[in-house]
Structure 1
Amino acid sequence: MNYAQLLFPDFSLILCGYLVCRYTALNRTVWEQVESLTYYFLFPVLLFQSIVRTPLDLQAASSLIVAGLAMGMLSIGLSYALPYLPWIGHRINRREHAANAQIAFRFNSFIALALAERLAGPQGPQLVAVLIGVCVPLFNVAAVWPMARHAQSGFAGALLRNPLILATASGLAANLLGFAIPQWLEPTTSRIGAASIALGLMAAGAGMQFGPLARAKVLAISVLAIRHFILPLIALGLSWLMGLSPLHTVVLLAFSALPTASSCYVLAAKMGYNGALTASLVSMSTLLAIASLPFALGLAR
């Protein structure tokens, strides 16, 4: 499979946003409004639709769910621990870490769904939908907590106001209750979802600056190493310990090597943090996934 070709559309949209913002009249003033539209409306609709679309067979995928949650908890723990590690902890800015710890454990669900059927056949999309449904609420809570804590704002209030968490939780509940989006409404929600992908990635590019990466090299290397090198190794270990089937192993390893979520930038910017650094990390993660996906799937073999 040509992973570079698969990831090129995402990275090219980030590049388009960067160029349009800097070399046309569509400057930061315009893109700030695009960020708000994406964060409060487009992304929530996409998340809800993605989770509701495929029935979740929790019993059949129970071992994969446990492995996915265990991998997620370990990645969150590693990410949270970075400022306290010897040798590197004192070189990491606590505020920048609060906003960018999420880079290490969140994932791009669009690319996950695009890869699913090619890697795992007809069962692939359903297995990936299960992982998305159970992991997204955990990861969104884990992304919000350090930012709310560092800003000394109410954590519960931040969660209740977070449209991504609300959309994911309501989508999971609706799926388990057997709710389906009416057929006549599906084209509309699909188009909203497609718009959220394009605008979210372009907004990340519009806010991108590579200068912040040079000033936060230790943090950048640390979170990207967890996301693209350590997580595939953890996934391999969990698949062996839990005796996952070859199909579940391939899905978990691919899941472990995905680029980080493009909405990381939108979340950090909307909570008052340095969105430029987060956008740069999202772009680097998308580029690194071209190498980490073949690495992870090579471990499966």
Structure 2
Amino acid sequence: MVAILLSIAPIFLLIVLGHGLRRGGIPSVEFWNLNDKLVYWVLFPSLLFFKTSTITLSGDLIEGYAVVILGGFAAAVGFALLSSAVFRLPGPTATSVLQGAARHNTFIALAAAERLFGAEGLAMAALATALLIPVTNIVVVSLMVAMTRGPAAGGIGLARAIARDLARNPLLVSVFAGIAVNLSGVGTIPVLHDVAEILGQAALPVVLLCVGANIRVREMTASVGPALLSIAGKMVVFPAVLVALALWMELSPMAAVVAGLFGAVPTAASGYTLARAMGGDAPLMATIITVQTAVAFVTLPLTVWLLSSLAG
């Protein structure tokens, strides 16, 4: 347990450092805004392309991983929808509970996988990212539209908007490109893979600083109840189902732990922006992101320890 804590601690220290730097105006607020774009459009896509194009893929691995990862995601979505109905939460509040329960901070999961298992773990986490990105975007955005505008909203227009957003999502494009290169059997491409590897090496430390810089403590004005529901969905239901499915599918210990990371990490920081853009409860989303990030300091190493013990 101590070894796990020591391995993961630098991740959270970088997050805290990023938050402190932004609050102190170092180097400037404009820098952090531009840095987000650099990570989103260049550094992180380079990392995902390099890892998905060089990982050893097999049908059994992908099938087992898909069952575990998407099963956990489906359980979290179901919990969010059921709890919102039981407590009769208004549409905007329900969308933030949904985002808090079902979305995941890919950056922290990838960083934790690398810290725990090195390059092999990072490649495994990239595969999980490839499975989750399209499903998460389609399901969450569609449900958010239905919750805020009614079940009849969207239709063909919504489908086109989602398809357009997915087609220009650099993370998704880089994953598909990497898998295409991988399956083509051409191997590593001179210069292209060299550049992608160099840029990818810069992605994780920079992105963790950005995660901390984007935490909005001052905008935590939401009620406690919905925030607790999102925490239960993300930090209890999601990882619990992942653990059960990983054991049922008999994943290797490393694969099981990496899968569990996606349930144990906090929700995506970009959920705040999505809440503002789609009529969700942005203050609640700010509270959920901040509280979950703090809770993950404890739940992430506990989940890793539990999975390591159960999976052998």
Q: Pick one of 252, 256, 259 that aligns with 2:260.
A: 256
TM-score by length of 2: 0.75
1:52 counterpart residue number: 53
Equivalent positions of 1:188-207 (< 5 A) are 188-207=195-214
Aligned mates of 1:28, 1:81 — CA distance in 2: 39
Distance 1:139 1:290, change over 3 A: same
What per-residue deviation string (whole Å, max 9, x for no partner) do you get for residues 48-87 of structure 1? 1121121201235644443333333333333454432x13
2:173 counterpart residue number: 166
Aligned mates of 2:173, 2:66 — CA distance in 1: 21
> Larger deviation: 178-187 or 51-60?
178-187
Any conservation in 1 of the 2:217–2:290 contact (CA below 8 Å)?
yes
Following superposition, the deviation at residue 31 of structure 1 comes to 1.0
1:178 counterpart residue number: 185
Matched residue type, 1:138:
V
Matched residue type, 1:89:
L
Distance 1:147 1:133, change over 3 A: same
Distance 1:223 1:24, change over 3 A: same
Following superposition, the deviation at residue 24 of structure 1 comes to 3.5
2:21 counterpart residue number: 20
Matched residue type, 1:134:
L
Equivalent positions of 1:264-279 (< 5 A) are 264-266=268-270, 268-269=272-273, 274=282, 276-277=286-287, 279=289
Following superposition, the deviation at residue 278 of structure 1 comes to 6.3
Any conservation in 2 of the 1:47–1:167 contact (CA below 8 Å)?
yes
Q: Secondary structure at the match of 1:15?
A: helix
What per-residue deviation string (whole Å, max 9, x for no partner) do you get for residues 212-242 of structure 1? 44525334333332333223332343345x4
Q: 2:306 aligned with 1:283, yes or no?
A: no
Matched residue type, 2:21:
V
Q: Secondary structure at the match of 2:60?
A: coil
Any conservation in 2 of the 1:58–1:130 contact (CA below 8 Å)?
no
Any conservation in 2 of the 1:51–1:175 contact (CA below 8 Å)?
yes
Distance 1:252 1:137, change over 3 A: farther
- Contiguous gaps of at least 5 residues in structure 2: none
1:218 counterpart residue number: 225
Equivalent positions of 1:89-238 (< 5 A) are 89-90=89-90, 93-94=93-94, 96-97=96-97, 99-103=99-103, 108-116=109-117, 130-146=127-143, 154-213=161-220, 215-238=222-245
Aligned mates of 2:276, 2:91 — CA distance in 1: 22
Aligned mates of 1:238, 1:66 — CA distance in 2: 7
Any conservation in 2 of the 1:46–1:196 contact (CA below 8 Å)?
yes
Q: Secondary structure at the match of 1:59?
A: helix
Distance 1:197 1:180, change over 3 A: same
Q: 2:308 aligned with 1:297, yes or no?
A: yes
Any conservation in 1 of the 2:256–2:311 contact (CA below 8 Å)?
no
Matched residue type, 1:238:
L
Q: Secondary structure at the match of 1:215?
A: coil
Identity of matched residues, %:
18
2:67 counterpart residue number: 66
What is the RMSD of the two structures over their aligned residues, measured on CA atoms?
A: 3.6
Distance 1:299 1:189, change over 3 A: same
Distance 1:140 1:252, change over 3 A: farther
Aligned mates of 1:213, 1:167 — CA distance in 2: 34
> Larger deviation: 3-12 or 94-103?
94-103
What per-residue deviation string (whole Å, max 9, x for no partner) do you get for residues 104-146 of structure 1? 586712322443469xxx8x67765554443443334445545
Aligned mates of 2:226, 2:198 — CA distance in 1: 36
Any conservation in 2 of the 1:108–1:261 contact (CA below 8 Å)?
no
2:30 counterpart residue number: 29
Aligned mates of 1:236, 1:127 — CA distance in 2: 16
Matched residue type, 2:96:
E
TM-score by length of 1: 0.77
Aligned mates of 1:103, 1:116 — CA distance in 2: 23
Distance 1:40 1:4, change over 3 A: same
